[in-house]
Amino acid sequence: MTTPPVTAPPEAPATPVTAMRVVGQRVSHHDFVEKVKGSLLYAADWQLPGMLYGRLVRSLVPSARIVSIDTSQARALRGVAAVLTGADIPRNTLVERASGGLGEMPVAMPILAGERVRYVGEPIAVVAATTQQIADEAAELVAVEYEELPGLYDMEAALEPGAPLVHDEGNLLVSWHIARGDCDAAMAGADVVVEGKYRTQHVEHAYLEPEAGVGWMDNDVVTVRASTQVIEHAAEIAEILDLPANKVRVIAAYMGGGFGGKEDMTVEPFIALLVWKTRRPVRMIWDRQESMLASTKRHPFIMRYRTGASREGKIIAQDIDILGDAGAYPYLSARILFAGAALACGPYQVPNVSVRARPVFTNNVPTSAFRGFGAMQVTLGYESQMDQVADALGMDRAELRRRNFLAKGDVIPTGETLDTAVAVDETLRRALGALGDRSEPSAAGRLIGRGFACNMQPYGRTIWFRDRAAVWLTLQADGSLLIRSGVTDLGAGQAASLCQIASEILGVPLGDISVYIGDTALNPPAGGTFATRQLYMSGNAVLNAAHDLRASIDPVAADLLGCPVGDLRYEDGLVRAGGSADAGGSADAGGSAHAGGSAEARGLSLAELARACDAQAVETSCLSTWRAESGIFDPAKGQGASFPDYTYGTHAAEVEVDPETGEVAVLRYVASHDVGRSINPMRVEGQIQGGAMQGLGYALTEEIVFEDGLTASSLFSSYFIPTSMDMPDIEVEIVESGEGKGPLNARGIGEPPVGPAAPAIANAIADAIGCRPTRLPMTAERVLALLDQKQGFSGPAPQ
């Protein structure tokens, strides 16, 4: 095949996004300042007087009955304050209903395993001691006697008759179906049918900050400050300890990365338990090797695709079966496989669809949320299929996609109608355009290949959860602003974005805004940071709260300035009367209001306004809840409400393959996404670059290999996340369609950039060598094996 030509529309559509003062500016403020100084205090950075150190005792075997747990030697060690087992926990069980009870089996998960262990690394006991060394030693002294049971390690074997049962209830957590049209009939009538089987791997989040936290008793409240994406787990901790919900407080430190791996509880229940039992402060940090061994991973998927198309290049049917390895416990697998099913067809019109998606239990380490959440694994399936359909039809690969792209108003497989712009075509145009001219091979025999992949990724929770987020804004007497929000910040600027939005509406300079986040006791709930939902949810909450606050204080300002409310302008710490703001005004990245003072400015400082409001008993504080749209999904029909909206994109890559070694070098990489409106282009670029890099690691190097349930290596040195040497710079093309359901028409960008990398690279490798990788990661060994399989391979692949 030839290089996909760039048959661009005659000109780019004019951007419908109007310039703003603060939103849209590349500003760096509070969090970045602390980070470049090194002064930001992460979860492991707090110490309290008399603090104890925690360590978990974890299962050494993947499947066994626990015959006995002997803690006597550990307890006898000097310096040990507590050795606890499941028997010490008031309610030693959690039942995860990730999909809200839409058909998944209710399977209980113990906090500390009692009678049965189901994976290597499962917590069995927990120790607290006066030093970390003593705690580690005591953990070694806890003697667990196992009676090993048959284990199940292969997800395809999980549903075979006679397979060992991971849980008595069965190995199938849930079976999702999404059905639209008549898939069988359409497939029978298709001019071409392409079949493919694709396999993805266990992947480690590999945030640089391991799981950590410090807990203490405060006013009879069990308080845990941890690295977590979800402070709302406080309610589960209260359940476990059989305490009233208001006796557990969770504080989220700014995280050293999360990527979904800190969406489920990690250290929190163990810290809470130790604090509650010992009444002393406790710190727990998981070793990197412990985290590699036992923390949740990305689901491996096995995906079978049958795609039917007409000779005119219209996709008419998709028949898809997805199996996901849930590991030993449910965690969020039910919802992740739902997302995989709902997004399995990608950003294309497909009138006849049949998707089945099933998470199954094995005795591997549990899998759960990881950036992309099921909707990223399927990109390898649908984008590999699109290239093959194009090849089968002899059609240009970009042209095939253009003929099938979804558009606003189209119906997707769940039966929902898209109600915002679909600018995926523009992202394709920009990505291919930026890729430039094809490179020459660096040495004789090397093969150059190009590939691209488009994707759609939801932002916001599944609709049936009736999502909401609250925020509390306070304009203080000195004109500064407090934002209180339960949002947690993974490092993507979740808190900083809220400041920019508030600054835009209220005119408070960024330097005069303080944002307090992630505390169940002091902040209104924002619902956790996951599902690319916080800009959408808390961003809208702040926007609405800022407008509500304006509605309260505007009449006072208008009265003082002697102008109609509609003429008020809030900017640079001042309220001014008269007309619209000058377009393209400067961003106020910090500092205080400049005292203009001249009569013609007629400026009123926000401090003066706040004091005037106070004198007139007008509210300068606003607590506001924003609610997302709601709806229901019918699992029997496979139709109904799924996600609020999607972010679309295209990544394009050029690779060079060395056929002698199978090594793949990525030479160029462009990533383009429509973000609706860019709140902070610098942070948007950062999300896209970082997401693409994670996608490239997933594509080429990263895999946690399990051998009979045991990770082949838990050393960080043998898990290959990309280093600065491994990949090229990620070039970013931001598209702003001006439509999105986030604040000021923004779309979420946290998860979307991770999806397209693997299929873009797979398509590029296929373009280079003339045969197709279908299994991740696409290591040199696997690429070499592909080349070996290819009969009569010698020299460059056919063009």
Partner 1 sequence: MTKAQVTLKVNGVLRDVWVSPSDLLLDVLHDGLGLGEVRYGCGEGVCGTCTILLDGEPVSACLTLAVQAEGHDVTTLSALLGEDDSLHPLQQAFLRLGGSQCGFCTPGVILTAHSLIRRERAPSREQIRYELVGNLCRCTGYTKILDSIEAYIAGLGAEHADPAGTAGPGTGDHRLGEPGTDGPGTDGPGTDGPGTDGPGTDGPGTDGPGTDAAGPGADADGEAP
Site for partner 1 in 274-293 (CB under 8 A): 285, 287-289
Site string for partner 1, 730-769 (x = CB under 8 A): x---------------------------------------
Q: Which is nearer to partner 1, 492 or 679 (CB)?
A: 492
Q: Which is nearer to partner 1, 330 or 753 (CB)?
A: 753
Q: Which is nearer to partner 1, 288 or 627 (CB)?
A: 288
The residue within the footprint of partner 1, chosen from 605, 779, 786, 797 (CB under 8 A), is 779
Where do we find the tokens 């007139």? 616
The residue within the footprint of partner 1, chosen from 780, 785, 790, 796 (CB under 8 A), is 780
Residues 6+ apart with CB under 8 A from 440: 448
The residue within the footprint of partner 1, chosen from 556, 664, 734, 797 (CB under 8 A), is 664
Measured distance CA(766)–CA(481) in Å, rounded: 54
In the numeric block, which tokens belong to residue 91? 């309610």
The residue within the footprint of partner 1, chosen from 8, 105, 193, 665 (CB under 8 A), is 665
DSSP bridge partners of 369: none
**Residue 717 CB, nearest approach to partner 1 (Å):** 5
Q: Which is nearer to partner 1, 84 or 700 (CB)?
A: 700
Identify whether the C-beta of residue 496 lies closer than 8 Å to the C-beta of residue 132.
no
**Residue 772 CB, nearest approach to partner 1 (Å):** 18
Measured distance CA(764)–CA(655) in Å, rounded: 6
Helices (H), ranges, 66-131: 72-76
Identify whether the C-beta of residue 555 lies closer than 8 Å to the C-beta of residue 524.
no
The answer to whether 256 contacts partner 1 (rule: CB under 8 A) is yes
Measured distance CA(528)–CA(534) in Å, rounded: 8
Q: Which is nearer to partner 1, 81 or 575 (CB)?
A: 81
Measured distance CA(224)–CA(234) in Å, rounded: 9
Residues in contact with partner 1, counted by CB under 8 A, come to a total of 73
CB 438: neighbour CB atoms within 10 A? Answer: 12
Measured distance CA(51)–CA(41) in Å, rounded: 17
Q: Which is nearer to partner 1, 362 or 672 (CB)?
A: 672
**Residue 661 CB, nearest approach to partner 1 (Å):** 8
What ranges make up the beta strands (E) of 685-755?
706-707, 710-711, 731-735
Burial of 76 (0-12, 13-18, 19+ CB in 10 A): exposed
Q: What is the DSSP letter of 407?
A: -
**Residue 205 CB, nearest approach to partner 1 (Å):** 8
The answer to whether 685 contacts partner 1 (rule: CB under 8 A) is yes
Identify whether the C-beta of residue 518 lies closer than 8 Å to the C-beta of residue 487.
yes
Site string for partner 1, 65-104 (x = CB under 8 A): ----------------------------------------
Q: Which is nearer to partner 1, 339 or 657 (CB)?
A: 657
Q: Which is nearer to partner 1, 385 or 497 (CB)?
A: 497
**Residue 778 CB, nearest approach to partner 1 (Å):** 8
**Residue 136 CB, nearest approach to partner 1 (Å):** 12
Cβ density class 284-302: b for 16+ within 10 Å, e for less:
bbbebebbbbbbbbbbbbb
Helix orientation angle between 30-37 and 494-506, rounded to the nearest 10 degrees: 140
Of residues 516, 521, 405, the one with CA closest to residue 471? 516
Residues 120-149, interacting with partner 1 (CB under 8 A): 133
The residue within the footprint of partner 1, chosen from 339, 719, 751, 786 (CB under 8 A), is 719
Q: Which helix (H) or strand (E) holds 459?
A: strand 447-459
Q: Which is nearer to partner 1, 416 or 654 (CB)?
A: 654
| Contact range with partner 1 by CB under 8 A, out of 150-158, 534-542, 685-693, 735-743 | 685-693
Q: Which is nearer to partner 1, 425 or 751 (CB)?
A: 751
Residues 590-649, interacting with partner 1 (CB under 8 A): none
Residues 257-276, interacting with partner 1 (CB under 8 A): 257, 259
Residues 6+ apart with CB under 8 A from 428: 398, 401, 402, 452, 454, 650, 672
Measured distance CA(406)–CA(417) in Å, rounded: 10
The residue within the footprint of partner 1, chosen from 433, 590, 686, 796 (CB under 8 A), is 686
Measured distance CA(310)–CA(193) in Å, rounded: 9
**Residue 330 CB, nearest approach to partner 1 (Å):** 26
| Contact range with partner 1 by CB under 8 A, out of 240-248, 337-345, 556-564, 727-735 | 727-735
Q: Which is nearer to partner 1, 308 or 491 (CB)?
A: 491
**Residue 227 CB, nearest approach to partner 1 (Å):** 10
Residues 194-253, interacting with partner 1 (CB under 8 A): 205-210
**Residue 47 CB, nearest approach to partner 1 (Å):** 7
Measured distance CA(753)–CA(668) in Å, rounded: 16
Residues 26-55, interacting with partner 1 (CB under 8 A): 26, 28, 31-42, 44-45, 47
The answer to whether 347 contacts partner 1 (rule: CB under 8 A) is no
Q: Which is nearer to partner 1, 556 or 700 (CB)?
A: 700
Residues 6+ apart with CB under 8 A from 420: 408, 645, 676, 737, 739, 740, 741
The residue within the footprint of partner 1, chosen from 694, 711, 745, 774 (CB under 8 A), is 694
